[in-house]
Amino acid sequence: MKIVIIEPLGITPEKVEKSAKSVKQKGHEVIYYETRTEDITELIERGKDADIIIVANLPFRKNVIEHCQKLKLLSVAFTGVDHIDIDYCKQKGIMVCNAAGYSTNAVAELTFGLAISVLRNIPSCDSITRIEGTKAGLIGSELYQKTFGVVGTGAIGTKVAFIAKAFGCNVIAYSRTERESVKQQGIKYVSLEELLKQSDIVSLHVPFNDATKNLIGKEQIALMKKSAILLNTARGGVIDNQALADALNTEQIAGAGIDVFEMEPPIPKTHPLANAKHTVLTPHVAFASQEALYTRALIVFDNIINWETGTPKNVIV
């Protein structure tokens, strides 16, 4: 079979070779494209003869998939799959598997990097130190004994909740599905409205779908404390970013740490959050540690082996 890695996986060619060893040993051909493109014609050319395509976070829609007549499996090197035309894959009998769990530690760690950066004004402290400045006006707040609200207790949200407990936070959670393992840590589930009202830090960890689109909008932000901060390492579309920028600029809330946007970075200079007060922005990097990127490469090839042997894992459709 022909396996096409249609975009870079963020690891060295040597690590790609190492992670692909299991499928190559079975005699499969592996083609690796080391450049990213969103040009439809180029993507069709890359994938048209593939039996299996590995894709990361590149938008992959019907306008490309319909030209990949041999395609049987999409092995997605990502957790979220809202960039994949899932309905069309289901219609055509193309299995889609994701790389569940590869970035749990990476995303959880960056969540706290953003939290502490916002609370302790780290970017501003860095800038002022370089120009012979002092801490004047930059005294921040601790995580300790703050109420930390986790929205979504999947694998990443649960990890974040447990780390917040270790920091000495009072952790509360809202999630469509409640986990016993979370409750056993003394974490109380509350309504989204209550979480927003009570929390000093609100951290989002939900997938992007019809139910979560603009989950946090003007009305929800209005429920938050003026001293609260909002963190988003989930998906950009779960926040109304214009409403968030307005709230930050009018100091309705104290700050935000944002890694994801309604588009993949680069974001335009005119983006509302690029010009908002009290923000720390990162270019969708939460998932992208060296360790996580190599782990996901191992997972996508493992997904192929399991699919081929009739025991598929991490199946979306």
264 is catalytic: yes
State CA 99 to chain mean position distance.
12
Beta-strand pair 73-76/147-151: unpaired
Q: Which amino acid is at 280?
A: V
Residue with tokens 């599905």: 177
* CA distance linking residue 98 with residue 75, whole number of Å: 6
Q: Are 300 and 6 in contact (CB under 8 A)?
A: no
Q: Hey, what long-range contacts does 311-315 have (CB within 8 A, 24 or more apart)?
A: 312/95, 312/97, 313/97, 314/97, 314/98, 314/99, 314/100, 315/95, 315/96, 315/97
Nearest to 99 by CA among 126, 78, 117, 71: 78
* CA distance linking residue 58 with residue 248, whole number of Å: 31
Q: Are 103 and 287 in contact (CB under 8 A)?
A: yes
251 is catalytic: no
Which of 67, 264, 278, 308 is labelled catalytic?
264
Q: Are 51 and 1 in contact (CB under 8 A)?
A: yes
What residues form DSSP beta bridges with 74?
53, 96
Tokens of 121: 């004004």
Which of 235, 251, 262, 296 is labelled catalytic?
235
Which of 46, 83, 271, 284 is labelled catalytic?
284
Nearest to 55 by CA among 2, 7, 103: 7
Tokens of 165: 């407990």
46 is catalytic: no
Q: Are 297 and 11 in contact (CB under 8 A)?
A: yes
Would you name the residues annotated as active-site residues?
235, 264, 284
